[in-house]
Amino acid sequence: MTSGLRKAHKISWILIAVFGTIFLFFTIRGLNFDSQRTENREEAITSVQTKENKWIKLSQKGNQIQLIVKTPLKASSSVVYGIGANGERSKSLGQVSTVGIYVFYTDNPIQGIQIFDEIKEVELTKLKF
C-alpha cells in the first residue's frame, strides 16, 4: 500500500466512524422505550372470549385476537376481517394460509371474525362471540 492509499484509507475510516456514530445516534433517538404502553396492553387483557367451529378456534383477550386454524381451509391464502357491532365486516386483521396459530391485534373492539377468500370472493367461515 502506498502512502497515498494509506492516507485515503485512514480518512475513509475516520469518516465512517463519525457518520456511523451520528447515524446510530439518530436511529436510537427515534426508538420508543416507553414501558407504559406495555403496561396498558397487559391491563387491557382481562376477559377471555372463546368460540370454535370445525375449522378454527377463536380467542379474544382484550385487543389481542388469537386464531388457531385446525384443518386446512378451502383457499390457500385467505384474509381475516373483523366483524363490527353492526354485523358488517370492518378492517382487515391479517392473512392466514396454513394450519397454525395466528395472533392479530385490533384497535377497535370486534364482535367476531370473517375469513374471506379475496381471489374467488367467497366467504369461507364466520364466527361471532
Instruction: Look at the pTM and tell me if it is higher than 0.85.
Output: no
Question: What does the pLDDT profile of the chain (129 residues) look like in tens digits?
Answer: 899 999 999 999 999 999 999 999 998 888 877 666 555 555 555 678 888 888 899 998 888 899 999 988 888 778 999 998 888 888 889 999 889 999 999 888 888 899 998 888 888 888 887
d(CA 92, CA 95): 8
CA distances for 36 relative to 33, 46, 61, 80, 126, angstroms? 9, 17, 19, 29, 35
In the prediction, which pLDDT does 80 show? 92
Phi, psi of 43, deg, nearest 5: -70, -30
In the prediction, which pLDDT does 49 show? 85
